[in-house]
Amino acid sequence: MGGGSRPGTPSSMGGGASGASAGPKAEPVTVSIVSGVAMLSIGCKAFFEKDGEIRQAEILSIRDKAKRQIIQRTADDAPIDNSDGTVEYEFYVHYVEFNKRLDEWVIDARARLDKPVTFPKKKNKTAVIGSQQSVRDKRRKTNIGSSVATGSVPQTPEAIRHDDSVYTAPSETFSKEKEIEKLRTQGSMTQSTSEVARMKNLNIIEMGQFQVEPWYFSPYPLEYAYTPTLYICEFCLCFYASRMQYSRHRTKCALQHPPGNEIYRKDEISFFEIDGRRQKTYCRNLCLLSKCFLDHKTLYYDVDPFLFYILTKRDERGCHIIGYFSKEKESADNYNLACILTLPQYQRMGFGRVLIQFSYELSKAEGKVGSPEKPLSDLGLLSYRTYWSEILVDVLVGYDGEISIDELSHITSFTTQDIMHALFNLDALRYYHGQHCIVLSERVVEAYERFQKKKHRKIDAGCLKWSPKVFSQAELRYL
């Protein structure tokens, strides 16, 4: 999803050890066969059975299945005494070269001990001390040479919504507990996403009639995380740790739709516009929920600079949330979308395309071109590429005569960069007689014809009851 507000990809930092002896370089130790699962440690890479296949996975955590107690065993520790067989291990693993959404707890019976196990590199204490000293020296030089105290600069919305790849690895004073607390109370994401967000902290989310398994870490308060099931009201998005609490809330909750203005309605589909400044609690709960399914989203509690557009499906009980997208009230880069999500229970039903189309209908109403904030998630990028290609081919097939990239931009409200990206993806640009031409291959035209035969959800611009908002300086003073 959308881009810019967005935790998950581990970041890296090169560390020098100048001025200290690094000692001999330690190589990873590979063991052909281990005698038992008690020898496996956090950080090692072993093989586990997954969906009928044998996959290599990195162990991120170990726990006693019966007690649900975490076992902090590293490669330097002795194997745990389990001679009586009372401990049944569970391993939280990340499958190598697979997306983090597949990370899971697995039982020890799924470990393939007949395969080689790669243990993590043992740390050289001399090299670590030298590296830390080098970092401190570098910081001291930076502070002396700088005229601005970088530590005193407040976190702004622009800095908040960067992809986590810009963050560096933690310093020697990193505290996981402090970083998680920072997630819940501030707009900025942790500076150690590789450590804090590697493990999912929720098992099952229940919303209405659906039970969904989260994909990624989300910084819900500790009293709600790590519970068997987290219950979320699908109308106000308040969350509860027990079914009794949730049932009591449902008898009192008066909401039957998102707390905003309904700006679009056709058939069973409605869109609601919500100002992040007016409905902070709802929007913050929405950010917590969306982080469960967006790896590249940096959770921010400063929701004031954003408008949220909630897609709902209406029935006799109310308007049920399907997905949403957010956009900045004032974007210097003309972004028409900051973050986009279709909840897993409604994916592969065409609702992602509806959200994207609606964002461009708003851009057309504003008389502007727009583009999603970068970087996009893997699923978001795939959805946008497909949408751009479908709309451009639809325009080109029905157009008679010459057309320029700027004219395509005016018709579709796409930016010229997005149009070029989609045309390159279609392999539709050719150089002919000294000029570039757009040529649609037979394969592209046939795919377009097959697409036209299918039924697709579309936005009816005539049902949109919305006019662009103009915000005063007082309303934008947080920017």
**Residues forming the active site:** 373
What b-and-e string marks burial along 388-409, b requiring 16 or more CB atoms within 10 Å of the CB? bbbbbbeebeeeeeeeeeeebb
CB-based contacts of 234, cutoff 8 Å, min separation 6: 207, 208, 320, 321
For residue 83, give Cα distances in angstroms to 31, 79, 86: 22, 11, 8
Tokens representing residue 131 in the block: 């590296």
* Distance, CA of 331 to CA of 352 (rounded, Å): 23
* Residue with token string 């520790």: 77
**Contact (Cβ atoms closer than 8 angstroms) between residue 121 and residue 50:** no
* Distance, CA of 225 to CA of 196 (rounded, Å): 14
- How many other CB atoms sit within 10 Å of the CB of residue 121? 13
- How many other CB atoms sit within 10 Å of the CB of residue 114? 10
Beta partners for residue 337, in sequence order:
372
DSSP label at residue 170: P
* Distance, CA of 36 to CA of 38 (rounded, Å): 5
Q: Which helix (H) or strand (E) holds 318?
A: strand 318-328
Strands 261-266 and 269-275: antiparallel
* Distance, CA of 334 to CA of 363 (rounded, Å): 9
**Contact (Cβ atoms closer than 8 angstroms) between residue 192 and residue 170:** yes
